[in-house]
Structure 1
Amino acid sequence: MEFPIKSAIKDSYERFPRQMKVAARWLVDHPTEVALLSMREQARRARVPPATLTRLAKRLGFDGFDKLKELFANSVREMPDTFAGRAEGLLLRREVEGDGVVIGDTVKALNSHLSGFVQPAAIAALAAAADILVEARKIFCIGRRSSFPVAYLMHYVGSLLGFPTILIDGIGGASNDVLRSVGPEDALLAVTVSPYTRFTVQAAEYAVSRGAKLVALTDSDLSPIANLSETVIHVRTEMPSCFHTMTPAFAAVECLVELVAARRGSCALQSLAASEEHLAEFDTYVLQIPRMRANSD
């Protein structure tokens, strides 16, 4: 969601004190909540004192937080009713009251996050990323900690479909060595969400300095890899529990793989048929699956 003050926040972000940065991230990442919730509730969710929100508003040129909130509210009113209704419903979830509610709240949050991928901006970002990857000589994939399985999924499924993927996994402490050959004809898919892993950011900076195109799969426009990238695929991570979710990131990669495969056409089908032939030779699976044909009859 775009809103008028967003660029001002991004321009001033690095100069903010630490707690004000936390508050600024809350505004950028939760614009609908800013419009609908009280300042005290926003402070609780952002984990900052209410006074920090007031100071941030004044730092941005407003008399107080209410004036800043009004700006966000006006932006929300201009959005389609269906989106605002969904967001308001998400905000008004009941307090956790047992296993059923915990599961229900989790599924509702995931549904809300995943539905964002059918919005025009998300579709455009995924399509732009697919265009970059399909033209790349090599596709480097990197993610650390909870982001690693997402990067691995891109590498693994992509390799089955014949994509020129290289996973930066750090086995033996050789992560840096993998990037030795990166250059202008290559692309790097970097996956990182707050609090952002240092090596992923360093790898992104290095790849871009060598002329490679960066596709950032991240959670915020204020992510340290967002301003380095050719395109940003935004994923939501917040949950009603004590940990963040990577499910939207997995979904984004699955969409991205499908788009790249569609662009590669028969080449992807031929690679997949060859991969299945190879797996069958080693009797990889207990239950055999029908092999794909590279060419139709």
Structure 2
Amino acid sequence: MERQSEIPQLLGDLISRNSTKLTEADTRLLDVMMQDPIRAAMENGRAVSFRAGVHPASAVRLARRLGFKGYPEFRTFLQANLIEGGGDFESPVARMAARLVRAEDGGVLSSVLDSEIAALQQVRNAVSDADIRGFSEVLRDCRRVFVFGRGHSAALASLIALRLNRSGYPAVDLASQMHLIAEALATLGPGDVVWLLAFRKASPLIHQIRKIAAERGAKVLALTDLLSARIDPAPDRQISVSRGEAGESQSLVVPMTIANAVILDLAAIDDGRSLRALGTFKAFRADCGLSPVIL
């Protein structure tokens, strides 16, 4: 792209900067693009022109007026906005489209695998064994664990609670019983731990639970991505890590790996408590007579 440093980063800025050059056909094209910028980033110039009801060459002329060599370069700019998460494309649909853009050359599965591997590799530098041990020591010495996450993190919260219970640590998945969350939090006290999970945005409920835990003397662990790192007041222990770059699959494998490492480390420092509990549970499951479907 010519004069790269002079080109605004968002489509809206680009239009404002060149508004005096635009023709009626340009306006019709841009109106179609702004109504559905995701589709515009995926289509060629002929298709966009057809939807706008203008001559097929109009998209090329528009691109040149905006400072690009041609429509393919303009389309690359639109795709970059998707991938970089610019304001024109800040929505779940846009994030999905961005991943499809990245997957065009190598295939969807390969793209997702590359994204997951890259996200996991950076965990080596972002999270230390001391961070993991900080979490596991708090859990080892607690009375009960209350785990809470919303959205995608709710699935991980359920898994954490399941694994802690099987390891002999009484745990409650608060997200699975939202209708009783007030009753559960009313029992919080010193010796209890609240483990919070927040991805993309810490919900108001996360902050409310954190405040209640502080008032009642319970310790708080937080596992977040970088977008949800700010929790006030600050948790007693917090691990914040990227789940992938903009336009990449926002990995659930990353926080799940960290949670698994915490629970494994817990078994290494609790004098056999986890191992005994797992053995006892295995024996019970084999002899209890409950249907395998239930278990």
- Give me the identity figure in percent: 18
Rg larger for: 2
TM-score, structure 2 length as denominator?
Answer: 0.60
Query: What residue identity is the alignment partner of 1:193?
Result: F
Q: How does 1:86-125 map to 2 (within 5 A)?
A: 95-97=102-104, 100-119=106-125, 121-125=127-131
Query: What residue identity is the alignment partner of 1:212?
Result: A
| Distance of 1:152 and 1:188 partners within structure 2 | 14
Residue number among 165, 169, 175 corresponding to 1:163 in the alignment = 169
Query: What residue identity is the alignment partner of 2:159?
Result: L
Residues 106 and 240, structure 1, Cα contact 8 Å, conserved in 2 = no
The structural deviation recorded for 1:259 is: 0.9
The structural deviation recorded for 1:231 is: 1.7
User: Which residue is 2:202 aligned to?
Assistant: 196
User: Which residue is 1:182 aligned to?
Assistant: 188
Query: What residue identity is the alignment partner of 2:154?
Result: F
Q: Judging changes above 3 Å, is the alpha-carbon distance between structure 1 residues 199 and 128 closer, same or farther for their aligned structure 2 residues?
A: same
The structural deviation recorded for 1:205 is: 1.9
User: Which residue is 2:218 aligned to?
Assistant: 212
| Distance of 1:269 and 1:147 partners within structure 2 | 27
**Could you report, residue by residue, the CA deviation over 1:158-214 in whole angstroms, capped at 9, with x for unpaired residues?**
111101222213536111211111122221110011122332221122112222111
2:80 paired with 1:45: no
| Distance of 1:104 and 1:243 partners within structure 2 | 12
| Distance of 2:164 and 2:107 partners within structure 1 | 37
The structural deviation recorded for 1:245 is: 2.8
2:288 paired with 1:279: no
Query: What residue identity is the alignment partner of 2:269?
Result: R
| Distance of 2:232 and 2:110 partners within structure 1 | 32
Q: How many residues align?
A: 204
Q: Judging changes above 3 Å, is the alpha-carbon distance between structure 1 residues 271 and 43 closer, same or farther for their aligned structure 2 residues?
A: closer
User: Which residue is 2:148 aligned to?
Assistant: 142
**Could you report, residue by residue, the CA deviation over 1:215-255 in whole angstroms, capped at 9, with x for unpaired residues?**
11001276342752112112323367686332211111111
Pick which of 250-259 and 196-205 moved more. Answer: 196-205
Q: Judging changes above 3 Å, is the alpha-carbon distance between structure 1 residues 95 and 185 closer, same or farther for their aligned structure 2 residues?
A: closer
User: Which residue is 1:131 aligned to?
Assistant: 137
Q: Judging changes above 3 Å, is the alpha-carbon distance between structure 1 residues 128 and 226 closer, same or farther for their aligned structure 2 residues?
A: farther
Q: Judging changes above 3 Å, is the alpha-carbon distance between structure 1 residues 226 and 244 closer, same or farther for their aligned structure 2 residues?
A: farther
Query: What residue identity is the alignment partner of 1:232?
Result: Q
User: Which residue is 1:154 aligned to?
Assistant: 160
Instruction: Report the 3-state secondary structure (helix = DSSP H, G, I; strand = E; otherwise coil) of the residue aligned with 1:265.
Output: coil
Residues 243 and 254, structure 2, Cα contact 8 Å, conserved in 1 = yes
User: Which residue is 1:261 aligned to?
Assistant: 267
Q: Judging changes above 3 Å, is the alpha-carbon distance between structure 1 residues 205 and 221 closer, same or farther for their aligned structure 2 residues?
A: farther
Residues 116 and 244, structure 2, Cα contact 8 Å, conserved in 1 = no
Root mean square deviation, CA, Å? 3.1
Structure 1 stretches lacking a partner, 5+ long = 1-40, 50-93, 288-297
Q: Judging changes above 3 Å, is the alpha-carbon distance between structure 1 residues 234 and 283 closer, same or farther for their aligned structure 2 residues?
A: farther
Q: Judging changes above 3 Å, is the alpha-carbon distance between structure 1 residues 150 and 95 closer, same or farther for their aligned structure 2 residues?
A: closer
Q: Judging changes above 3 Å, is the alpha-carbon distance between structure 1 residues 43 and 148 closer, same or farther for their aligned structure 2 residues?
A: closer
| Distance of 1:217 and 1:236 partners within structure 2 | 11
Residues 153 and 253, structure 1, Cα contact 8 Å, conserved in 2 = no
Residues 216 and 226, structure 1, Cα contact 8 Å, conserved in 2 = no
Residues 139 and 186, structure 1, Cα contact 8 Å, conserved in 2 = yes
Q: Judging changes above 3 Å, is the alpha-carbon distance between structure 1 residues 141 and 216 closer, same or farther for their aligned structure 2 residues?
A: same
TM-score, structure 1 length as denominator?
Answer: 0.60
Instruction: Report the 3-state secondary structure (helix = DSSP H, G, I; strand = E; otherwise coil) of the residue aligned with 1:279.
Output: helix
User: Which residue is 1:235 aligned to?
Assistant: 241
